[in-house]
Amino acid sequence: MDDDSSGPGGRRPPPPGADDRAVAVHLAHAGRTDTLFSDDAVRTIHAHARGMPRAINKLAITALLAAYSAGKTIADEASARTAITEDTTTD
């Protein structure tokens, strides 16, 4: 019987806030302690990528580029939405 609560590959979606913590951990491993993504940007990217790491990475990089292009120091939700728009128009 299928369980509707599981995500891709039978994995359950992470609990609320887990994606924020995961980003913080990965940034810390990379030696970054400053904020690169707003909480809204992380949630928007994670939701659109459906928790798939490769898709999250692709959107995160594009969001950082969008933020830089707009003269921002933090990738915010608008930067994430720009990344999503670019991702959906180039597929």
Residue 90 has pLDDT above 70, yes or no: no
Alpha helices in the chain (DSSP H): 18-29, 39-49, 53-69, 77-90
Q: Comparing 15 with 6, which gets the higher pLDDT?
A: 15
In sequence order, the β-bridge partners of residue 48 are none
What pLDDT is recorded for position 42? 92
Contacts 24+ apart (CB under 8 A), 23-30: none
The tens digit of pLDDT for each residue in 23-37 reads 777 778 888 788 889
- Cα–Cα distance for residue pair 77/63, rounded to 1 Å: 9
What pLDDT is recorded for position 1? 42
What pLDDT is recorded for position 4? 46
Residue 62 contacts by C-beta under 8 Å, 6 or more apart in sequence? 82, 83, 86, 87
